[in-house]
Structure 1
Amino acid sequence: MTVTVPGIAARLADRPEAVALVESRGRTSRTTRRGELVRRCHHLAEALRDAGVRPGHKAVVMTRDAHDLTAVSYALGILGAVPVLIEPRAEVGRCLRDVAPDVFIGEPLAHLGRRALGWGRPHIGISLVTGPAPLPPGRRLPTRTPVGGAPPARLPEPDGDGPALIAFTSGSTGRPKGAEYHHSTLAGQLDALTALIGPRPDDVLLAGFLPVALLGPLLGLTTVAPAVNHLAPARTPPGELVAPMLRHRATVVLASPAVLTLIARHCARHGVTLPSVRQILSFGAPLRLRLVDALRRAVPDDAEILSVYGATECLPVSAIGDHELRASRVRPPAGHAGTCLGRPLPGVRARILDADTTGAGEIAVTGPTVSPAYHARPDADAATKSDTGHGVLHRTGDLGRLDDEGRLWFLGRKAHLVTGAGFTLATEDIEAAADTAPGIRRTALVGVGTSVCQLPVLCVEPLPSTPRAAALAAVRAVLRDHPQGHRVAALLIRTGFPTDPRHNSKIDRMRLAGWAAGRLRGRAR
């Protein structure tokens, strides 16, 4: 059966005078309207075709500029080529060997890295430079050419359900893999986000994560791309986030907990409120109630704060509002430790595979938002993908349960289980409780030692105002009331946890476990 989904130009065709994208840098902003974006994308598609790019070509797009990323990716889609998105901090050379791209399009810094490190050398035949800098030499792609004069040729967009995008995982929990999205996958993600957000004509979306800028205009939303430090989001000057929210009256915010923490702290420190915000969507890591409380003080009482669960391979899966999240922490159903993720979104089905006697097992999902395959990784497909009557079933690698209300509960990653002598601890089971201790910013459970007999160590990051002794005492008190708390063998104070490069929100447990092992060896001497 042939599947036809709306093309990029068709999704942008309505309201040509409405603003599609606002790039915010300090006190300046650059605005692109929807009609202008369509015309520019067709001009770019012509330029790409003239440069030799053809339908089916795989084209890496590596730039931190929201306009260039959006316009180039849309233009490649119009042409029938496949954009490839890779984290610039990930194992780029290995990713390029996996994907074997035909084209490399990027800002000057990306090209310098490509040349110095030999990224994609055997495969890349077409190299195009974005941005205004004079170096490196190479053919420039006119992403900022003024739109005027003769209208561009309207290239016919692909009308089937072929490959539309390859998005690499961050590699925070293993080797990065390229998740293939078909046109129907992107359509499913847009439909799910539309159901979640309920876009309004006057909505303004703040994109706290660069790829969100790709989706915002397709959702019909004016999308503000602030000057996030995409190499280290948690180091972004918070004023670069809050100022454009106020200036452009942002109504919807999509960001990771690390970025939301910057916003909440800035508002508290400067007595700022965000009166236009009606909805905040947190994604990338579990949302803690301490952050919810800080955000609540900055937004109107009727604003909705949602914790969204998903992964690069299946986004979004489920969502839960902060009021239900709070209730689930105060009165969790019997046997449901961890963090509630809410109910799966319409069209998404969640299952628990290989469940134990408590009902805990691996979360697996099917639905229109699920990537059908990894690119050139049959080993990963064999381990995580299977065909069902409801489409491809994807194993997430996350542990969880389903309760009697059909809600998902998250217990942590399978790979992060701590296996001791006769017991096993799930990270989220311990951390969700320990993080409620007064004066604590966050905790992280890691295993030290061999995989079959690990020592459970809880790393503790206090708030700056909390003395270390008080922080440890507060965590110990919480653990005494937890059924598995007595299993934790050691507590270690650590200021600043290593985190994933993409969101700065997922904890890098391998690095943290190495640090903990060194501290414990030092104590033993």
Structure 2
Amino acid sequence: MTTTTADIAALLDGRPDAVALVESRKGASRTTRRGELVRRCHRIALALREAGVRPGHKAVVMTRDAHDLTAVSYALGLLGAVPVLIEPRAEVGRCLRDVAPDVFIGEPLAHLGRRALGWGRPHVRVALVTGSAPLPAGRRLLTRTRADGSRLPHVREPGGDEPALIAFTSGSTGRPKGAEYRRSTLAGQLDALTTLMGPRPGDVLLAGFLPVALLGPLLGLTTVAPAVNHLAPARTPPEELVGPVLEHRASIVLASPAVLALIARHCARHGVTLPSVRQVLSFGAPLRTGLADALRGAVPDDAEILSVYGATECLPVSAIGDHDLRASRAAPPAGHAGTCLGRPLPGVRARILDADATGLGEIAVTGPTVSPAYHARPDADAVTKSDTGHGVLHRTGDLGRIDDEGRLWFLGRKAHLVTGAGFTLTTEDIEATADTAPGVRRTALVGVGTAVCQLPVLCVEPLPSTPHAAALAAVRAVLREHPQGHRVGALLIRPSFPTDPRHNSKTDRMRLAGWAAGRLRGRIR
């Protein structure tokens, strides 16, 4: 596949009557067919050009409407402009200072924030409002009326591997950074996702993460965007997820573990099954076997459940099925504690840098899915990027090993190592074991105290139905079977962990460590 954003119209022109995108909101669906999407993109591109948008302009697109996000981003690509996607709950002002956008396109709420907080000032020269709600003195970008038959004005053909998209990281592991995707990066991602999903005629993708709505139609998939609460995905009403799967007979479900847990719990509670689903892809955090078991109760026996590893800067990298995941947990190779991530996808190469005597080091990746640079962040590039004979090598910040079968193993983030007196603990090594304790939703290992003499503290989030004392007893029991379990100096119950804003699946360890320090005041050395 050689797909680029400049080829959007050609991609979508085939099968004009096929459904491209469905937005499902509170029992109502809004459908756009492929031919209609092409016409809408052309009309929006005309409007953007008339408003002053030109090739090379950086255009922030901030809307929770899947149709508007997709059509506007495609239209910008047709013009040769560069869409910029920023997490709504990230440090938006700082992100906009980094990117210095020429254009700001968004729903009224985003513009209110822009005006009140000075986002993008003084760089934004073109500001356009999407949606139907009025905004005083706002210039509307009409995205929902019918095309008038006008043709897209001539724009120059892209010259080489030009910038195609800037996607900001969520900020869950540090200051948000804008990962630059070039035309080849998007093409590589589409190739990798095609390999991963193996799309079939008639497949329907449920996109539990809004930006996936951009890629689904380009993969030839009918893409359903459910009413996920994008500011707090784990608080999404589960019927807003399960209902669209059943109504539109979704065959592929792509979501974070937090969203997949909502689906699994709803199905178990109400005795619902999802007979149309042939594949589940879990993104954003490691898939635990307990959640995989719960999903197994909702999907057909022959359905594939995949845990997919990657990051905004390199997505996807590898994948592992739930059956292989269980087998790896039951009999890990010697010295390979942690969580197995599977083998790298075709064309992706993984290396372990700065490895110790056990082979533990930082996971680094090369391949067509790797973002070549951060936008306007040479400091971050200097730390994480280097040129190799196989392209740009990206340091992920994740700790891991590669076993004799070529499989990646994840041990946690470098920044989250817990260093005690004469020992070091990786978070995933301890948590992958502790999370198997009955009655426990998840655990998180944090270090409290000075950097070289930390007290390892394991925070425990029990299931709502589990008494706190029972949860702690269960965790203690499984830790006794772990060779490093005796290093854990304290167990603390926390009914709900702070998590990342994008997926609600990664624990915010800085906040959790601060909370634990307050609870253990007096025990900190």
> How does the TM-score come out when normalised to structure 2?
0.98
> d(CA) in 1 for partners of 2:159 and 2:218?
17
Indicate the residue corresponding to 1:322 in structure 2.
322
Contact map agreement 1:41 1:75 (CA 8 A) in 2: yes
The Cα of 1:437 is off from its aligned counterpart by 1.0
Q: Which amino acid aligns with 2:37?
A: L
Structure 2 vs 1, CA of residues 340 and 212 (structure 1 numbering), >3 Å: closer, same or farther? Answer: same
> d(CA) in 2 for partners of 1:4 and 1:444?
40
* Equivalent residue runs for 1:284-363 within 5 Å: 284-363=284-363
Indicate the residue corresponding to 2:47 in structure 1.
47
> d(CA) in 1 for partners of 2:225 and 2:501?
19
Q: Secondary structure at the match of 1:429?
A: helix
> d(CA) in 2 for partners of 1:490 and 1:287?
25
Q: Secondary structure at the match of 2:167?
A: strand
Contact map agreement 2:3 2:186 (CA 8 A) in 1: no
Indicate the residue corresponding to 2:238 in structure 1.
238
The Cα of 1:157 is off from its aligned counterpart by 5.1
Indicate the residue corresponding to 2:395 in structure 1.
395
Identify the range of structure 1 (42-51 vs 143-152) with the bigger mean alpha-carbon deviation.
143-152
Q: Secondary structure at the match of 2:521?
A: helix
Q: Secondary structure at the match of 1:521?
A: coil
Indicate the residue corresponding to 1:264 in structure 2.
264
The Cα of 1:468 is off from its aligned counterpart by 1.4
Q: Which amino acid aligns with 1:474?
A: A
> d(CA) in 1 for partners of 2:261 and 2:4?
41
The Cα of 1:158 is off from its aligned counterpart by 2.4
Indicate the residue corresponding to 2:366 in structure 1.
366
Q: Which amino acid aligns with 1:240?
A: E
Q: Which amino acid aligns with 2:144?
A: R
Structure 2 vs 1, CA of residues 4 and 165 (structure 1 numbering), >3 Å: closer, same or farther? Answer: closer
Q: Which amino acid aligns with 2:321?
A: G
Structure 2 vs 1, CA of residues 461 and 365 (structure 1 numbering), >3 Å: closer, same or farther? Answer: same
> d(CA) in 1 for partners of 2:11 and 2:196?
18
Contact map agreement 1:79 1:157 (CA 8 A) in 2: no
Indicate the residue corresponding to 2:274 in structure 1.
274
Q: Secondary structure at the match of 1:453?
A: coil
Indicate the residue corresponding to 2:485 in structure 1.
485
Structure 2 vs 1, CA of residues 51 and 139 (structure 1 numbering), >3 Å: closer, same or farther? Answer: same
Identify the range of structure 1 (130-139 vs 75-84) with the bigger mean alpha-carbon deviation.
130-139
> d(CA) in 2 for partners of 1:281 and 1:25?
22
- Deviation string 1:281-337 (CA, Å, 9 cap, x unpaired) is 001000001100110000000000000000000000000000000000001111100
The Cα of 1:13 is off from its aligned counterpart by 2.1
Structure 2 vs 1, CA of residues 31 and 375 (structure 1 numbering), >3 Å: closer, same or farther? Answer: same
Q: Does 1:24 align with 2:11?
A: no
The Cα of 1:498 is off from its aligned counterpart by 0.2
Indicate the residue corresponding to 1:142 in structure 2.
142
> d(CA) in 2 for partners of 1:71 and 1:135?
21
- Deviation string 1:16-54 (CA, Å, 9 cap, x unpaired) is 111000000112101001111011101111110000000
Q: Does 1:133 align with 2:133?
A: yes
The Cα of 1:440 is off from its aligned counterpart by 1.0
Q: Secondary structure at the match of 1:393?
A: strand
* Equivalent residue runs for 1:94-243 within 5 Å: 94-150=94-150, 152-153=152-153, 158=158, 160-243=160-243
The Cα of 1:147 is off from its aligned counterpart by 2.6
Q: Secondary structure at the match of 1:40?
A: helix
The Cα of 1:462 is off from its aligned counterpart by 1.2
Q: Which amino acid aligns with 1:390?
A: H
Q: Which amino acid aligns with 1:97?
A: R
> d(CA) in 2 for partners of 1:287 and 1:4?
31
> d(CA) in 2 for partners of 1:26 and 1:4?
34
Indicate the residue corresponding to 2:62 in structure 1.
62
> d(CA) in 2 for partners of 1:275 and 1:159?
46
Indicate the residue corresponding to 1:451 in structure 2.
451
Indicate the residue corresponding to 1:419 in structure 2.
419
> d(CA) in 2 for partners of 1:464 and 1:160?
55
> d(CA) in 1 for partners of 2:493 and 2:240?
31
Q: Secondary structure at the match of 1:145?
A: coil
> d(CA) in 2 for partners of 1:91 and 1:320?
33
> d(CA) in 1 for partners of 2:346 and 2:167?
23
Q: Which amino acid aligns with 2:132?
A: P
The Cα of 1:160 is off from its aligned counterpart by 2.5
> d(CA) in 1 for partners of 2:493 and 2:523?
13
- Deviation string 1:414-462 (CA, Å, 9 cap, x unpaired) is 0000011111100000000000111111100000112222110000111
The Cα of 1:245 is off from its aligned counterpart by 0.6
Contact map agreement 1:249 1:276 (CA 8 A) in 2: yes
Q: Which amino acid aligns with 2:485?
A: G
Q: Which runs of 5 or more structure 2 residues have no equivalent in the other structure?
A: none
Q: Secondary structure at the match of 1:285?
A: coil
> d(CA) in 2 for partners of 1:153 and 1:372?
31
Structure 2 vs 1, CA of residues 3 and 292 (structure 1 numbering), >3 Å: closer, same or farther? Answer: closer
Contact map agreement 1:420 1:455 (CA 8 A) in 2: yes
Q: Which runs of 5 or more structure 1 residues have no equivalent in the other structure?
A: none
Indicate the residue corresponding to 1:437 in structure 2.
437
Indicate the residue corresponding to 1:36 in structure 2.
36
Q: Which amino acid aligns with 1:443?
A: T
Contact map agreement 2:208 2:226 (CA 8 A) in 1: yes
Contact map agreement 1:78 1:157 (CA 8 A) in 2: no
> d(CA) in 1 for partners of 2:4 and 2:441?
48
RMSD: 1.5
Indicate the residue corresponding to 1:466 in structure 2.
466
Indicate the residue corresponding to 2:83 in structure 1.
83
Indicate the residue corresponding to 2:9 in structure 1.
9
Identify the range of structure 1 (449-458 vs 259-268) with the bigger mean alpha-carbon deviation.
449-458
The Cα of 1:137 is off from its aligned counterpart by 2.4
Q: Which amino acid aligns with 1:483?
A: P
Q: Which amino acid aligns with 1:100?
A: A
Structure 2 vs 1, CA of residues 223 and 344 (structure 1 numbering), >3 Å: closer, same or farther? Answer: same
The Cα of 1:151 is off from its aligned counterpart by 5.1
Structure 2 vs 1, CA of residues 239 and 254 (structure 1 numbering), >3 Å: closer, same or farther? Answer: same
Structure 2 vs 1, CA of residues 73 and 286 (structure 1 numbering), >3 Å: closer, same or farther? Answer: same
- Deviation string 1:378-415 (CA, Å, 9 cap, x unpaired) is 00000000000000000000000000000000000000
Q: Secondary structure at the match of 1:139?
A: coil
Write out the 4+ residue segments of structure 1 that deviate beyond 3 Å after TM superposition. Answer: 2-6, 148-157
> d(CA) in 1 for partners of 2:4 and 2:262?
42
Q: Secondary structure at the match of 1:442?
A: strand
Contact map agreement 1:280 1:306 (CA 8 A) in 2: yes
The Cα of 1:466 is off from its aligned counterpart by 1.6
> d(CA) in 1 for partners of 2:243 and 2:382?
47
Q: Which amino acid aligns with 1:208?
A: G
- The share of aligned pairs that are identical, in percent, is 87
> d(CA) in 1 for partners of 2:59 and 2:108?
16
Identify the range of structure 1 (8-17 vs 476-485) with the bigger mean alpha-carbon deviation.
8-17
Contact map agreement 1:7 1:158 (CA 8 A) in 2: no
Contact map agreement 1:363 1:397 (CA 8 A) in 2: yes
Contact map agreement 1:5 1:160 (CA 8 A) in 2: no
Contact map agreement 2:3 2:187 (CA 8 A) in 1: no
> d(CA) in 2 for partners of 1:132 and 1:48?
17
Contact map agreement 2:204 2:221 (CA 8 A) in 1: yes
Matched residue pairs, number? Answer: 523
